[in-house]
Amino acid sequence: MPSEKEFIALLNENQRIIHKVCNLYMDSHADREDLFQEITLQAWKAFTRFRGEAKFSTWLYRIALNTAITFFRKEKRQPDLYSTETLPDFRITEAHDPVEEQVKAMYMAIGELSKIDKAIVMLYLEDYSHQEIGDMMGITPNNVAVKMNRIKTRLKEQAQKHMNQA
């Protein structure tokens, strides 16, 4: 039976995985914290079933992504309890840094992807191989390659649209 100390040590070594998933699926700091706790809880509940057939990081990614997708769906069904009518109307002016604008446009484009495509992009950006991504997502490495090529094309188009709108 795996120990609590073992779980905490593995989680501490791999917590950046959870942070990246949280940042990708949630916009507000509070939502990211809630999702982080939910992923940690789900990982702890499932830890007794971790057999070590895959790396812990691969196993954790899969739990984090599945939890984030479920959590995201629940959040979208919740009504917005805050009204923006009482907020003062002000604008934040930003310096125009072309590189920063490109990065912002790319993140906006990634945000428009489906949940599955976001996960694939995130894993790709983490330098996981097509085989590892396929293992985590439950698809073949060839399917990962095809999806990644399609995603790259879509991201280029969407990022360009966002750059033109800025």
Lowest average pLDDT, out of 10-24, 57-71, 75-89, 119-133, goes to 75-89
Residue 74 burial (C-beta neighbours within 10 Å; 0-12, 13-18, 19+): exposed
Q: Could you tell me where the DSSP H helices lie in the chain?
A: 4-25, 29-46, 56-77, 98-111, 115-125, 130-137, 141-165
Query: What is the mean predicted confidence (pLDDT) over 131-148?
Result: 91
The secondary structure of residue 104, as a DSSP letter, is H
Residue 73: its pLDDT value, please? 67
Q: What is the token pair recorded at 112?
A: 């428009």
What pLDDT, in 10s, does the model give residues 72-87? 666 554 444 444 444 4
Q: What is the token pair recorded at 15?
A: 């917590």
Residue 35: its pLDDT value, please? 92
pTM higher than the cut 0.85: no
Q: What is the token pair recorded at 4?
A: 């609590």
Which residue type, as a one-letter code, is found at position 92? I
d(CA 18, CA 70): 15
What pLDDT, in 10s, does the model give residues 84-121? 444 444 343 444 567 777 777 887 888 888 888 988 88
How many degrees, rounded to 5, is the angle at CA 104 between CA 158 and CA 15? 110
Residue 46: its pLDDT value, please? 92
Whether the pLDDT of residue 5 is over 60: the answer is yes
Which domains can be identified in the chain, with CATH numbers?
4-77 (1.10.1740.10), 98-165 (1.10.10)
Q: What 3-state DSSP class applies to 166?
A: coil
What pLDDT, in 10s, does the model give residues 20-55? 888 888 878 898 899 999 999 999 999 988 888 888
Confidence at 135, pLDDT banded by 50, 70, 90: confident
